Structure 1
Amino acid sequence: MMKNYSWINKPDKFEENEETLEIKTQQNTDMWQKTHYGFSNNNAPMYLTSSSQKDFVYEVKTEFDSNYLFDQCGIMIYLDEHNWAKFSSEYENDEFQRLGGVVTKNGYSDWATQDIPATVKSIYYRITRESNDFVVEYSFDGVDFHQMRIFNLLFGNKMDEVKVGLYACSPQGKGFTATFKQPHFLSKK
């Protein structure tokens, strides 16, 4: 079992050991707040650990075989249901998927994406915390990382402990298997 992790929205089906978590997603699970679509969902399974370090680097490898529109798995920073950020790949069709992130502040989400080939079935994610600021990167090989986004949570208000970890969901589809390998904190660069 991964040490010091706990569930928010525990899934019905999952398997874990010290280095790997596998989630079978359930239909109608998602993370989104209000913007554009008008609905609020905060029911995606999240497996999170807490950190009060002002500076940290957290990394994980994801593997997935998603099949339905918006199937997603990736990495999460979570303060509460109104303030969080997720970064993942989202299934679109057999030609491409969307690599992107949603940052939610004060109950409103935004979504920024870029298209990547549908043949990609594994992505590494890295989050670097610098006080209230976060830098998110991705890699297809675990060596060459590329910046996805820089963002701030809580607009400069004091932020002590944050939750960071893994999530997967299926807003519309029947579910898929998301695998997370070796989630860990790295020494600060």
Structure 2
Amino acid sequence: MSLDETRTDDPSWPGAPGAAAWLNPPVQVERTGDGLVVTAAEGSDFWRTTAYGFTHDSGHALLAPFAEGTAVEVTFVLDYGEQFDQAGVLVRQDERTWTKAGVEVSDGEPQVGAVVTREHSDWSVGPVPDWAGREVTVRASRSGDALTVRARAAGSPWRLVRVSPLDPGADLLAGPFCCAPTRAGLRVRFTRVATTTADASLHAG
């Protein structure tokens, strides 16, 4: 099976939502007992212009249609640790309109955050050193004019990462992504991808 034909309803992806296709196929994809191990290309990234002056649209993402009223959850093992290593969820309209959210290594420690891109990228992060070595789940929820992103490490409560505006009528794709902007050999072990119902509220209770 070619990378472009990889299906997220493969038994190694519990609860996955159906066929998906790679945006920028990675160096290697290995099926394991509990998911996929994805090897990222050196220099792979998603970013547009802001602060750095460059545009990269070369990150690896396994994307499927992302319907209104649904949420995509991606779980991976946070066992990487070099500068700008990253994994999580990508929500994409086109090369100028997208959001990536997950855990990225910056300034020597893992940071949970998001990059929201509308022609130009912004970036927000918060340190999560206690998440290192654990399974992390990132949840992107589509409801009306908003994309709500939450994340948690295994055994921890959900943490709100970002709320950003969304075109309610846009055709969107979403799924797991990883990037290795500064090095070769990044391997990310994804253990779960699933589609569920969108969050009912921004706030608990």
TM range (shorter): 0.7 to 0.9
What is the identity, as a one-letter code, of the residue corresponding to 2:162? R
Matches within 5 A, 1:1-189: 1-2=7-8, 3-16=18-31, 20-51=35-66, 53-92=67-106, 96-105=109-118, 107-117=119-129, 120-121=132-133, 122-141=135-154, 144-154=157-167, 158-188=168-198, 189=200
Distance 1:27 1:11 in 2: 10
Compared with structure 1, are the counterparts of its residues 17 and 56 closer, same or farther at alpha carbon in structure 2 (3 Å cutoff)?
A: farther
| 1:65 aligned counterpart, secondary structure | coil
CA contact (8 A) 1:19 1:183 kept: no
Task: Give the structure with the higher percent strand.
Answer: 1
Contact 2:131–2:153 (CA under 8 A) maintained in structure 1: no
Please give the alpha-carbon distance, in whole angstroms, between the structure 2 residues aligned to 1:175 and 1:71. 10
The one-letter amino acid paired with 2:96 is H
1:122-146 superposed Cα distances (whole Å, 9 cap, x missing partner): 3111111102311100111266211
Residues of 2 paired with 1:19 and 1:58: CA distance? 18
Superposed displacement of residue 119, structure 1:
5.7
Q: Report the CA distance shift for 1:42/1:160 in structure 2 as closer, same or farther (over 3 A).
A: same
Equivalent residue letter for 1:115:
P
Identity of aligned residues (%): 23
1:67: Cα distance to partner? 3.2
Report the TM-score, using the length of structure 1 for normalisation.
0.88
How far did residue 19 of structure 1 move?
6.2
Distance 1:90 1:118, change over 3 A: farther
1:61-80 Cα deviation digits (max 9, x unpaired): 11132232101111110111
Q: Distance in 1 between matches of 2:62 and 2:110?
A: 24
Distance 2:72 2:92 in 1: 14
Contact 1:50 1:164 in 2 (8 A): yes
